C-alpha cells in the first residue's frame, strides 16, 4: 500500500502537478470508484456496478470504462472524452488522509514517489508566498466533501443490502474468435425485488434521496452497448460479439 505524506505549504512549496499525468493515469483505469451522489451523472456515460473492496470487503460503486484491465476506452490521445469526470479523477494525484496531528481530522496527502508531481513543470500547488493555488483550493474542497459523500454512499449500500435489492452477476464478454472473458464479483440492482417493494418503502427511499441512484444504476446497464462499440472501434482489440449478464451461479438465492 502506498504511504501518503501530508501536504505542507512550508515543505512542498515548489510542488507542481504535471497536467498530462492525470489523463495518463486515467487511461489505465478500467474502473473508477464513484460515490452515490455521482451515480446519476455517471450513468449517462458508463455502466455502473458495485463490487467488494479488497481491503475491507465493503461494497463500493464503480464505473466500468473497459472490458480489459489497464485500458480506458474514454481516454483518447491523452484526452478525457466524457462530459462527466469522476471526483476520483478531478482530485488525482491528491488524496484524503488522516492527519498526523489529530486523530479525528483529515487532511490532503500525496504519494511523493508519484511521477505526477514535479518541481519544475505543471500546475503549482502553492504560490511563492506559500498560499494554496486555485487548483489546490478546488481539490481541497472536493476532498472535504468526499467524507460526506462516502457516508451517503455507505448508507445507500446498507439500505440496498437490507432490502435485498442487490444481486451478484457474472458479465460474460463473448469475442468473435470464440473466446469468453467472464468478469465476476459484480453486483447490480435486482429489478424483480425492486418492483415488489411496497409503496411505503418506495416513499422512504425517495425521501432519503435513494430512488434516483437506484434507477440510474438500472439504466446504466445499457451503457454496456456503448462500451462494446468503443471497444470494437479500437483496431488492436479483439472484436466483442455479445455480452451476457448472468446471475452468479454460486450465490443465486431468489
59 CB-near residues (< 8 Å, 6+ apart): 50, 51, 52, 53, 157, 161, 166, 187
Tens digit of each residue's pLDDT (9 = 90 or more) over 20-59: 999 999 999 999 999 999 999 999 999 999 999 888 889 9
> Which whole number is the average pLDDT over 167-196?
96
- pTM for this one? 0.90
Residue 252, pLDDT score: 45
Number of H helices, E strands in the chain: 8, 14
Q: What is the DSSP letter of 250?
A: G
65 touches 46 (CB < 8 A): yes
* pLDDT band at 4; cut points 50, 70, 90: very high
User: Average model confidence (pLDDT) for the chain?
Assistant: 93
- C-alpha cell, 56: 475491507
* pLDDT band at 253; cut points 50, 70, 90: very low
Compute the distance between CA of residue 46 and CA of residue 226 in angstroms, rounded to an integer: 8
pLDDT of 157 strictly over 80: yes
pLDDT of 103 strictly over 70: no
Strand partners, 245: 171
Residue 249, pLDDT score: 80
Virtual torsion, Cα 116, 119, 122, 126, nearest 10 deg: 110
- Helix, strand, coil fractions of the chain, as percent rounded to 5: 35, 25, 40
Amino acid at each position: 500500500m502506498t504511504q501518503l505524506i501530508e501536504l505542507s505549504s512550508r515543505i512542498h512549496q515548489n510542488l507542481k502537478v504535471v497536467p498530462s499525468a492525470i489523463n495518463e493515469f486515467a487511461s489505465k483505469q478500467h474502473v473508477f470508484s464513484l460515490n452515490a451522489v455521482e451515480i446519476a451523472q455517471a450513468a449517462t456515460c458508463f455502466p455502473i456496478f458495485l463490487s467488494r473492496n479488497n481491503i475491507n470487503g465493503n461494497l463500493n460503486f464503480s464505473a466500468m470504462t473497459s472490458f480489459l484491465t489497464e485500458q480506458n476506452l474514454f481516454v483518447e490521445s491523452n484526452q478525457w472524452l466524457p462530459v462527466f469526470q469522476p471526483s476520483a479523477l478531478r482530485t488525482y494525484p491528491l488524496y484524503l488522509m488522516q492527519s498526523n496531528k489529530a486523530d479525528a481530522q483529515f487532511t490532503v496527502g500525496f504519494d511523493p514517489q508519484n511521477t505526477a508531481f514535479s518541481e519544475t513543470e505543471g500546475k503549482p500547488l502553492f504560490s511563492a508566498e506559500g498560499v494554496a493555488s486555485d487548483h489546490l483550493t478546488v481539490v481541497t474542497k472536493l476532498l472535504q466533501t468526499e467524507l460526506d459523500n462516502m457516508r451517503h454512499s455507505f448508507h445507500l449500500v446498507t439500505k440496498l443490502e437490507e432490502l435485498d435489492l442487490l444481486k451478484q452477476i457474472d458479465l460474460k464478454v463473448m469475442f468473435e474468435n470464440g473466446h469468453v472473458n467472464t468478469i465476476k464479483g459484480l453486483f447490480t440492482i435486482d429489478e424483480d425485488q425492486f418492483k415488489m417493494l411496497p409503496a411505503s418503502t418506495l416513499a422512504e427511499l425517495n425521501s432519503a434521496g435513494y430512488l434516483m441512484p437506484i434507477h440510474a444504476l438500472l439504466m446504466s446497464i445499457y451503457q454496456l452497448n456503448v462500451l462494446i462499440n468503443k471497444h470494437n472501434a479500437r483496431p488492436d482489440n479483439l472484436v466483442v460479439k455479445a455480452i451476457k449478464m448472468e446471475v452468479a451461479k454460486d450465490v443465486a438465492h431468489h
